[in-house]
Each structure stands twice: as structure tokens, then as C-alpha cells.
Amino acid sequence: MSDKITAGHVHMSGCTGCEVAIADNYAGLLTLLDKYVDWVYDLTLADVRHIPEMDVALVEGSVCINDKISVEEIRQTREKSKIVVALGSCACYGNITRFCRGGQQNQPQHEAFLPIGDIIDVDVYLPGCGPSPQLIKNVCVAAYLLLKGSDDQKALAEAYLKPLMMLSKRGTEACFCDLMYDVIDQGLCIGCGACAAACPVRAITHEYGKPQGQRDLCIKCGACYNQCPRSWFSFDVVNQYESIMETIDAAMAP
């Protein structure tokens, strides 16, 4: 395979938990850095002060729109990156920085934090607080194969990434009605309760293992949709899962 891709970690308003999740790949991270990725930007790990051109930007955290530097940084990230990944739930839908909204006690200072998809176009969503290390590793390898792999590898990488790309197109606009239509009514719900746990205004309850939404409480933040493991269910991925994982495992073999 050809040369490495460039990638970096852009830290907006997050707790650094997503960066810890990247590091939790241990030896896998070393393989990634050794074979596939030049890590060109990361306030914690690299001595680079200005956002450079890069193939993949992993953005952690939401954006405080009262902070001009943060707004400028996220705009530059979009301009200078081929693929922008919203890494973790704060970047995807605001997560904890939106927990003040709706029926909960008002904290006006938190109203200024927006998920990155409200400011720039985002290519891939990786929800989770933080996302699993394995998912981050798989997405990094798939991004590499999409940019530099053979035609077969590109096709498998695209199949794997497509549901996460679709999730980013929903952005923060999806709400409980979308969850109802795309997941529950399709018989895809596994009753895991992640939607109810994620809802910042407690608009979702579980009755007999099934989520029920109170639409008058819903503030349409997208949290339930993004956190639902079935909102990005894809028969393409299921049908090709073994080939996709074999390709990723082969790429990560020492």
C-alpha cells in the first residue's frame, strides 16, 4: 500500500475522554501511527500551534460560539481537512453541554455550546461518551483504506463507513419521531435503553422494555437518535461484516 495519511485531534469543548479512548487502543495505536497515520496536530501530544492541512480531523467536543477562537478553529478545521469526524457525543450532538436545556434548571452559559455539525459540514459521526477504542481504530483504518486502498478495500471501507456518514447527515436534527420511524417501527429496537439514558430532558421512558417518547417535552436535540446503536444499522455492513473485519485485521497485523 502507498504512503501514510495525515490526521490530527482537534480539541474543542470536551473532557479529553475521547482522546483517552484513542489512546486506549494501546499496541493498535502504535501500529496505526507506524504504518498508516502521520499524527500532525494534537494540542496534547504534538507541538503544533496552528491547524495544518490534514486528511482526517478527529474533532472532540462542542463549540462555544461566544469564543471567537473556537469558532475560527472549527472553520479552519473544515477548510483544511478532507474528512471531518465528529469524535464522541459532545461533537455529535452536544451531549453534556446541552443537559441544561428543556425542563431542567436553566444554565444560560451552556446555551452557547453547539455540536460541530451546527457550524460546519461533518463527514462522519462517531457517537459515544467516549466512543469505543475499537470503533475509533476501525474507522481510522477504514478511512485509510478509503483514501489509499485497492478498489476492493475501498468498497469494503465505504460500506463500513457509510452508516456513520449517514448519521452525520442527520446531524442534530433527528428527534424521537425519527427514532420511532427508523428504528422502533422497523422492529430494530433491542430495548437497550440508551435513548432514554441519553435524553437530556427525560422525554423518553421505558415501559415493558420499549421506549416511549413524550413529544411535548422533546427539544429535538438528536441525542437519542445518535446514541441508539440501531440508528446506524446497515444490512450492507452485516452482510459483509466478516470481510470488512478480516480486511481491517489484516491491515493491523504486525
Binding region for ligand SF4 (CB under 6 A): 175-176, 179, 183-184, 189-195, 198-199, 201, 203-204, 211, 213, 218-224, 228-230
- Minimum distance between the CB of residue 11 and ligand SF4, rounded to whole angstroms? 25
Residue with the three cell numbers 496505526: 32
- Minimum distance between the CB of residue 91 and ligand SF4, rounded to whole angstroms? 16
CA distance 193 to 160: 25
Alpha helices in the chain (DSSP H): 17-23, 27-35, 68-80, 89-93, 133-148, 151-170, 176-179, 194-198, 223-227, 235-239, 241-252
Q: What angle do CA 140, 148, 168 make, to 5 degrees?
A: 45
CA distance 221 to 199: 8
Would you say 129 or 192 has its CB closer to ligand SF4?
A: 192
Would you say 134 or 186 has its CB closer to ligand SF4?
A: 186
Would you say 8 or 94 has its CB closer to ligand SF4?
A: 94
What residues have CB less than 8 Å from 225, skipping those under 6 apart?
Answer: 170, 174, 175, 176, 178, 179, 182, 195, 231
Would you say 233 or 243 has its CB closer to ligand SF4?
A: 233
Residue with the three cell numbers 422494555: 209
- Minimum distance between the CB of residue 215 and ligand SF4, rounded to whole angstroms? 8
Would you say 136 or 221 has its CB closer to ligand SF4?
A: 221
- Minimum distance between the CB of residue 24 and ligand SF4, rounded to whole angstroms? 23
CA distance 65 to 16: 19
- Minimum distance between the CB of residue 141 and ligand SF4, rounded to whole angstroms? 26
